[in-house]
Structure 1
Amino acid sequence: MQTTPNTLNAWLSLLETRHFKEIDMGLDRVRAVKEKLGIEYACPVIMVAGTNGKGSTCAMLEAILLQAGYRVGLYSKPHFLDFNERARINGEMVSDQVFIDTFDQVEAARGDVSMTYFEFTTLAICKLLAEAKLDVVILEVGLGGRLDAVNVINADVSIVTSVDIDHVDYLGDTREKIGFEKAGIFRTGRTAICSDPLPPQSLIDHALEIGADLWLFGRDFNYNGDKQQWNFAGREQRRNSLGYPSLRGANQLLNAAAVLAALEALRDRLPIGAQEVRNGLAMVDLPGRFQVMPGRPTVVLDVAHNPHAAATLAQNFDNMGFHAYTYAVFGSMLDKDIAGVIAQMKGKIDHWCVCDLPLPRAATAAQLREQLLQANVLQDVEHSIQEFSSPEQAYAFALSKAGENDRIAVFGSFLTVAGVMRARKSQTH
């Protein structure tokens, strides 16, 4: 009799090595195992896809629904320090033992079907959330939408936050191609929300073709505001005098407007009062999204890893006030538009600390240096490029050089931010 691993780490190590490729697009295998597991939801499901803004949108939904007293399940990814971050029930991470038990069930159901780490863990989390007696479930899509493992679930409300160029090898190299992939999470007769101010025609066409109830930003819902507060207007619901979300950054009102549109669409099943919306927006917390750490020098953690996200980060920098010098801790996957990210950030950074990341498909520090040189990044008394073998080392160097009026920006990948989070955690213990 074959035994399964008895710790979460052992399980994850097995899943990382078992399937012949890391990303294997297509839903037939996942759907077959989902049917065997009998995953069904008795509560509303909200699914969120998009190039950027998915995590913020999910976090705001969770915070508001928790404030309203609902039992909320959330699946989000990737994680920074612990795999358990990927599944939350009522705001609390799921325990190792619950994961182990559910992994055992997926293992028994899959038979000889081979699944990637992402597909296997997605089914496990969808299964444990389906059995947790919840009032609402929020599912964050990983890559694209149409062929993402999460899309074996039928959502009551689907949100596409933004459509931009990323994951070109899998999703295509234009916004129209990518828009079609994201629109794959929409369902016939159900609410489909897009908060991108310029949605690709392919997304609109697909929603019309399948008969989804499409809500577009600027047509079906929008917001306006001043420096103190903002107002939301949906199809029938208005919410006025709202405080700004505690998540900082330029696009958060677009994300928040999509959240309130989704809650309007579900208001018969999940009624929510004005104060609960205000409290949720005020209390929402999301690591690694324009996260400004307390203390000096100023440290900003941001998972920006494509030009669209880097442009937002650069804009947020402009709103931060004066810093004498800015150091970048920058590491990236090789399949990203590294030149596009550098182009957005070039004028904002004085000293680049580029680093290797602990994955084979990451760019090396030497490759990042080469891209910076191609972009004509300066090297003189006040500008530099240094190479490091890890984000932790790059951050330690930046910290040793930065004065208290300087700024350290950590960006380029989840792994870059995770490395610095680990370094900061070990400093405080």
Structure 2
Amino acid sequence: MSTSSYSEQPRSLDAWLSYLEQIHTKEIDMGLERITQVATTLGVLQPAKKVLTIAGTNGKGSSVAMADAILRQAGYSTACFTSPHIVDYRERVVVNGNMLSEQAHCDAFSAVEKARGETSLTYFEFGTLAALWLMKQHKLDVAILEIGLGGRLDAVNIVEPDASIVTSVDIDHVGFLGDNREDIGYEKAGIYRTGKPAICGDPKPPQRLVSHAQALGAQLFCVEQDYRHELDEHTWAFMPCSERGQEYLKPLQQLPVPQLPLANAPGVIAALQMLGLPISDEAMKRGLATAAVPGRFERWPGQPEVILDVAHNPHAAKYLHDKLMQIRRTQSTQGKVLAVCGMLKDKDIKSTLAELTPAISHWYVASLPGPRAACAEELAGVLDSMGQKAQPFMQVAAAYEAALAEAEPNDILVCFGSFVTVAALYEHKGRAFNGR
């Protein structure tokens, strides 16, 4: 579809988002030629003085949040680009901890629309360019960019990073990235750059990831090989553990255990130490202590306690299971764990649910909206094949209310399976998203 004239452009953020859904024939169109051409016209290929890109199957959002919190505690101006959003599109671009106005996003979309001419862009490509444009306006110290899908051909990878993190490598997005860790690792290693710090937080890095980083001449630092962490009763330590690690990385002691997955924190520290910006030990500690991400093991206190998690693949589900068991071990009373679950049908549903079945007493499964959604009966059928009984519901809110009605005060109600599932509960409870 060709560009519209300025007078015909959408006037509101909702109208813009509706327009973006219509202007490209594919939801995902891999390749960087089209978006690079428009980015060059816009002048957004250097959105900040420093750029940190973060890819991985799991742990991206947590790593973005920890890096952002540490940098802001150190006095740097930052912006984060993440996706998808939970409730409000504006969650995707957060500047110095705050969402921007709807008008700012409309201005960004207008700038992209004028720059693209006849070039076709997907919804995500358009949004990526708009995010980079917004960052450029703020003259920031650091832009932290989450790679939404894979790495090598992701729209965000048009930007040249000063350091990059691959948090973990597991099976997800099979149709685009491959059905094995070696192929997926190669795709994610596409965010590494020649001569630049390349952090890998996966304790068993695929050989293709390592080989690609070495062939590029990237400065590869791998967890358990070049750096590691040690956990004691109340704190943890970051420790270089190779000759290269000891040459470039600084040990840190008595770090607070973050609210977010600890496994992602050492990679963030390694990347920030290699970014070339002075950061005090105190800023590291304060950032780790305060970092949080809505929808990632988010706890709503009360009786029963409600826990929201966007876990939608086996790796994330295993982490969720382990966290639930940890809570149960530390509580004096032993209630049940009830699960509200909605998933997309292009995920590894059986393996994801299997990771949690040992922890769950009762299942309440829900259909999600949209063509990618798995229906409740499909989820119930998968659970039935594993000897688990589940009650199906047409909507997440209905499943949640049914579970809530049957829960005892000492129970835990965990709601997981997709960003869409968590978004439905935010909307159902009327909760506002206030950025990071």
Could you say which TM-score interval applies, normalised by the shorter chain? Answer: over 0.9
The offset of 1:337, in angstroms, is 0.3
Please list, as runs of the form range in 1=range in 2, the aligned pairs for 1:7-22 lying within 5 A after superposition.
Answer: 7-22=12-27
CA offset digits 1:249-304 (Å, max 9, x no partner):
xxx2221101110111023xx10111111111111111111112111101111111
> After the TM superposition, which residues 99-114 of structure 1 pair with which residues of structure 2 at under 5 Å, given as runs?
99-114=105-120
Instruction: Please show how residues 12-411 of structure 1 align to structure 2 within 5 Å.
Output: 12-41=17-46, 42-234=48-240, 235=245, 236-247=249-260, 252-267=261-276, 270-321=277-328, 323-377=334-388, 379=389, 385-411=390-416
Instruction: Classify the secondary structure of the residue corresponding to 1:17.
Output: coil
Partners in 1 of 2:414 and 2:45 — Cα distance?
43
Return the alpha-carbon distance in structure 1 between the equivalents of residues 299 and 137 of structure 2.
37
Which one-letter code corresponds to 2:308 in the other structure? Answer: L
CA distance in 2, matches of 1:82, 1:334: 24
1:103-124 Cα offsets, whole Å, 9 max, x none, are 0010011111111111100111
CA deviation digits over 1:128-165, x for unaligned, max 9?
Answer: 11221101110001010111100011111010000000
| Residue in structure 2 matched with residue 382 of structure 1 by the alignment | none
CA distance, structure 2, for counterparts of residue 289 and residue 101 of structure 1: 31
Determine helix, strand or coil for the equivalent of 1:347: coil
Aligned residue type for 2:254: S
Deviation of 1:323 after TM superposition, in Å, equals: 4.0
CA distance in 1, matches of 2:365, 2:93: 32
Give the partner amino acid of 2:58. N
Mapped to 1, the partners of 2:424 and 2:71 lie a distance apart of: 31
Task: Please tell me the residue identity of whatever aligns with 2:392.
Answer: E
- 1:332 and 1:413 in contact (8 A); partners too: yes
After the TM superposition, list the runs of 4 or more consecutive aligned residues in structure 1 that deviate by more than 6 angstroms.
none
Q: Deviations over 1:385-412 (max 9, x none)?
A: 1111111111111111111111111011
Instruction: Give TM-score, length-normalised by structure 2.
Output: 0.93
Distance (whole Å) between structure 2 residues aligned to residue 370 and residue 246 of structure 1: 34
- Determine helix, strand or coil for the equivalent of 1:159: strand
What is the root-mean-square deviation of aligned Cα atoms in Å?
Answer: 1.3
Q: Secondary structure at the match of 1:150?
A: helix
Alignment: residue pair count: 415
5+ long unaligned stretches in structure 1: 380-384
Q: 1:323 to 1:110 in 2, by over 3 A?
A: farther
TM-score, normalized by length of structure 1?
0.94
Identity %: 48
Report the residue type matching 1:341 in the other structure. T
Instruction: Give, in whole Å, the separation in 2 of the partners of 1:85 and 1:402.
Output: 32
Matched-pair contact (CA < 8 Å) for 1:75–1:86: yes
Q: Distance in 2 between matches of 1:158 and 1:426?
A: 33
Write the distance in 2 (CA, Å) between the matches of 1:213 and 1:316. Answer: 33
Contact 1:40 1:130 survives alignment (8 Å): no
Distance (whole Å) between structure 1 residues aligned to residue 163 and residue 10 of structure 2: 36
Amino acid corresponding to residue 266 of structure 1 in structure 2: L
1:25 is displaced (CA, Å) by 1.1
Asked whether the equivalents of residues 342 and 372 of structure 1 are also in contact (C-alpha less than 8 Å), the reply is yes
